[in-house]
Amino acid sequence: MKRKQFLSFTGKILFLFSTGGIFGSLLKGSKIQSYIDEHPQVVRYALGIQIDKCIGCGNCVVACKIENDVPKDPFYFRTWVERYIIKKNDQVIVQCNEGGAGKLSQDIQEREILRSFFVPKLCNHCDNPPCAQVCPVGATFQTDEGIVLVDSERCIGCSYCIQACPYGARYMHPETHTADKCTLCYHRIKEGKLPACVEVCPTQARVFGDIESKASPLTRLKRMNKIHVLKPELNTEPKVFYTDLDGEVK
């Protein structure tokens, strides 16, 4: 009698626990799901640029113009590549022929050069964007993913944002008469592709990634290199992270 009672008692307890456990885990699972639905994982896109890898080929400039229908004239660039030549007499020469897609001049002699390198530049998609701060109608704004965009149907073409950008990343589109700039190929990255400039960089000098992610090429870049941004003293909190950036680059 005692064993039977004991066994039945234990069985009941086990049953209770197991059903309770299954039920509880089902409940918890659905709670997790609704939590995930209400709190989608935060993503913040940014770009890394490794100066020592850039060969100044200009493929990024050309691809950006093709992908984004940027006017072909050399007065409008969403991204460009500057060439710095620091001579032994401390003179600094900066060149940017057709945004970096043009021919590289060959007239500097090696014996005069102290340091020389290429610096790709683009909109920094700042986290404290001075352009969004000054737009009178709120046409330029930052998305949840950290990309700064321009609403070309709202923009009135006052050029205030172009004056406020410390990096010269913006231009007035000659056909739409609205402000225009790099969107980090928003239409591509939302489909899981890379921005066009990153896609065509032959040396992987440009690194695209999610800085919120614990495992992305950009996170590794920020771990393994000394990072610099352009004009940090202006507190724009830019999200283009340069490695090996020289102090002469403004």
Residues 80-139 that bind another protein (CB under 8 A): 80, 82-85, 92-96, 99, 104, 106, 108, 110-111, 113, 116-118, 121, 130, 132-138
Task: Report how many residues bind another protein under the rule CB under 8 A.
Answer: 92
Give the nearer residue to another protein in terms of CB position, either 43 or 55: 55
The DSSP result for 201-243, as a single string, is -TT--EEEEETTSSSSHHHHHHHHS-EE-S-GGG-----EEEE
Instruction: Give the one residue of 12, 28, 31, 193 binding another protein; rule: CB under 8 A.
Output: 193
Instruction: Give the one residue of 46, 47, 49, 57 binding another protein; rule: CB under 8 A.
Output: 57
Residue 224 CA: distances (Å) to CA of 63, 122, 155, 227: 29, 23, 41, 9
Q: According to the binding rule CB under 8 A, does residue 242 interact with another protein?
A: no
Give the nearer residue to another protein in terms of CB position, either 118 or 241: 118
Query: What gap in Å lies between CA 201 and CA 167, rounded to an integer?
Result: 22
Least separation in angstroms between residue 188's CB and another protein is 6
Q: According to the binding rule CB under 8 A, does residue 225 interact with another protein?
A: no
Evaluate whether 16 touches 8 at the Cβ level (below 8 Å): no
Least separation in angstroms between residue 182's CB and another protein is 11
Q: Tokens in use for 197?
A: 């400039």
Neighbours of 49 (CB within 10 A): 25
Q: According to the binding rule CB under 8 A, does residue 196 interact with another protein?
A: yes
Q: Which amino acid is at 28?
A: K
Q: According to the binding rule CB under 8 A, does residue 165 interact with another protein?
A: yes
